[in-house]
């Protein structure tokens, strides 16, 4: 069993979500880019300024914790929905607002 070296959870950084040590890049972000969106690892490395080892560590954690990733994804979606409800787009405003 892996200890997931390089992946940390810090309460005051990214809300305690698993992230790559030393940077503010979450495991879910890296995993979703590669596994869900289909970005290649080299593009993720370049876009997020990560090393191959950092991306590999994030993907290993992502793959080893599918339930946690699904929970984080659901929390993210709920947060997006709350933001949309609180900040309607201009087309959704009623007269007088």
Output the pLDDT for position 2.
44
DSSP state at residue 13: B
Q: Mapping DSSP to helix (H, G, I), strand (E, B) and coil, where does residue 10 land?
A: strand
pLDDT at 92: 58
Tell me whether residue 3 is exposed, middle or buried, using C-beta atoms within 10 angstroms of its C-beta: 0 to 12, 13 to 18, 19 or more.
exposed
E strands in 13-84 = 19-20
d(CA 40, CA 92) in angstroms, rounded, equals 37
- H or E element at residue 31: helix 27-31
As a whole number, mean pLDDT of residues 64-86 equals: 92
pTM of the model: 0.80
Q: Does the structural domain 7-87 have CATH classification 3.55.40.20?
A: no
Q: Is 28 helix (H, G, I), strand (E, B) or coil?
A: helix
Query: What is the per-residue pLDDT across 50-62, written as a single tens digit (0 to 9) for each?
Result: 999 999 999 999 9
Question: Alpha-carbon distance 54 to 10, whole Å?
Answer: 17
């Amino acid at each position: 069993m892996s200890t997931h070296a390089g992946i940390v959870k810090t309460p005051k950084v990214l809300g305690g979500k698993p992230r790559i040590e030393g940077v503010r890049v979450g495991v879910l972000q890296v995993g979703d880019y590669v596994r869900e969106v289909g970005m290649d690892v080299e593009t993720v490395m370049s876009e997020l300024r990560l090393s191959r080892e950092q991306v590999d560590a994030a993907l290993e954690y992502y793959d080893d914790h599918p339930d946690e990733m699904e929970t984080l994804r659901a929390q993210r979606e709920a947060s997006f929905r709350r933001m949309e409800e609180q900040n309607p787009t201009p087309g959704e405003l009623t007269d007088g607002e």
